[in-house]
Amino acid sequence: AGVLAALAAAKEAAGGGERARVGLCLLCGLPAAGKSTLGRGLSRRLPQRAGWACALLSYDELIPPEAFGPREPGAGPAGPSPLLPLWKQSRRDLLQCLECVLRALIAGEPLSAPATAARPAWERVLACCRGQGLLASAESGAGAGPEQAQAAAPGPLYIILDDNFYYQSMRYEVYQLARKYCLSFCQLFLECPLECCLQRNRLRSHPLPDQTIQLMATKMEVPDVNKNTWERNSLILKSFDCTSEDEYQIVSLLAAALENPVKQNEENTEQKEADRAICAASAVHQADQTCRRLISQAMRDARDKNVLPSEMKSLAEELNKLKAEFLEDLRQGNTLKNQTNIQNQDSDPATTVISSFQHEAANVVNKYIFK
């Protein structure tokens, strides 16, 4: 009932003169996992069952095979990143072209080619979109290039992107596009055993080398809804054939995503926490290395001041204990333990801790020197 209510709400909103409601759905998984078969099935069944307009954009069709070969010296477009591998540059071009199409679909404005993407990439995307019924040709007559086409006016629309998307970063790029334009976003990951993918791939007219799929399998980053909040609208499918239960789950996911588009200010809390943890670990490492050097210098100074050998061990133990306390404060985010260094409290945490430790270490050394 919840799914049907969501679908009814989506249909009602579509006819109310509101801004076009657009969702991006990623099909992810190894080559020959069944993504293209599922994508074609969804593009046929979703308009019938859910009443959504649906378009399937396959990266295999939009990125030419030569993009995965070596870049010849002096070849390729004179873009801003000529040193990027061809396949990375092609993916970047494709996203830029997709963004131009999305702007036209959402705002109903005339299409315009992206400023930096290669022209062949733009032509391929336009041809694919027209073939899917996303774009209506302009009526301005002869001389009107493809970039003058007007966006058609669909109701709720799902654009399905069919690609391996084996790196999380590849999927996150599309999510950022959804966030930029407040679109719906979801992911369908086809989990298929490697050996099964290899067998299916060998039956294709143009199979990939086995080692390509095997390497991709080692790099595959499955959507992790617990780690990444932006991947919460994800579904992992284990069946090659889309069963009725699978189809129900898919429609449920797409309906829920359509009702909850990504907000522009939506933050990835877990990702930010992970980034903070990495920065904190780096700061602790930096402070630890510096404090070690300060302790070594303090021990040399104490030796030069004729501190007794019997007391040098106690001095080293006290300085190392002090270092451990300051580093723990840094790990816990408590860098204001010592109030003697007020002027440095606006510095970064590692610098504040190092400066405070240096001050305290000097007091400890002086205690031994001036006994």
Same domain, 319 and 258: no
Question: CA end-to-end span of the chain, whole Å?
Answer: 82
Question: Residue 345 — very low, low, confident or very high, per pLDDT cuts 50/70/90?
Answer: very low
Taking the C-alpha atoms of residue 16 and residue 298, their distance in angstroms, rounded to an integer, is: 75
Average confidence (pLDDT) over 36-41: 91
3-state DSSP assignment of residue 26: strand
CA geometry: angle 94, 19, 6, nearest 5 deg = 95
Full domain range(s) for residue 210:
1-11+18-68+86-137+147-264
Statement to judge: residues 181 and 296 lie in one domain: no
Q: How far is CA 4 from CA 146, 154, 242, 247, 282, in A?
A: 38, 20, 20, 14, 50
Handedness of CA 177, 184, 48, 242 (dihedral sign): positive
Q: Do 282 and 350 sit in the same domain of this protein? A: yes
Q: Say how many C-beta atoms besides its own lie within 10 A of residue 172's C-beta.
A: 17
CA dihedral 235, 225, 218, 197 (to 10 degrees): 0
The model's pLDDT over 141-193, given as tens digits with 9 standing for 90+, comes to: 334 444 434 445 456 889 999 999 999 999 999 999 999 999 999 999 999 99
Please write the tens of the pLDDT for every residue from 273-312: 666 667 777 888 888 889 999 999 989 988 888 888 888 8
pTM over 0.85, yes/no: no
Same-domain status, 110 and 258: yes
Split at pLDDT 50, 70, 90, the class of 327 is: confident
Same domain, 126 and 39: yes
Q: Which CATH number do you get for residue 259?
A: 3.40.50.300
Q: Judge whether 193 and 199 are in contact, CB under 8 Å.
A: no
**Residue where a domain stops, chosen among 264, 297, 312:** 264
Helices marked H in 20-151 — which ranges? 35-49, 59-62, 86-107, 119-131
Res 355: pLDDT? 87
Number of domains in the chain: 2
Residue 99 has pLDDT above 70, yes or no: yes
List residues bridging with 151 in a β-sheet. 135
Q: Which of 249, 264, 279 is the last residue of a domain?
A: 264
Asked if the structure places residue 78 within a domain, the reply is: no
DSSP 23: E
Output the CA–CA distances (angstroms, integers) from residue 18 to 99, 107, 119, 150, 264, in the order listed: 20, 10, 33, 18, 18
Rounded Cα–Cα distance for residues 44 and 38 (Å): 10
Q: In this structure, are 257 and 273 located in the same domain?
A: no
Instruction: Say if residue 335's pLDDT is above 50.
Output: yes
Token pair recorded at residue 106: 């959402």
The label of the residue with tokens 């970063």 reads 169
Determine, yes or no, domain membership for 365.
Answer: yes
Residues 53, 154 contacting (CB under 8 angstroms): yes
Q: Which residues pair with 110 in a beta bridge?
A: 150
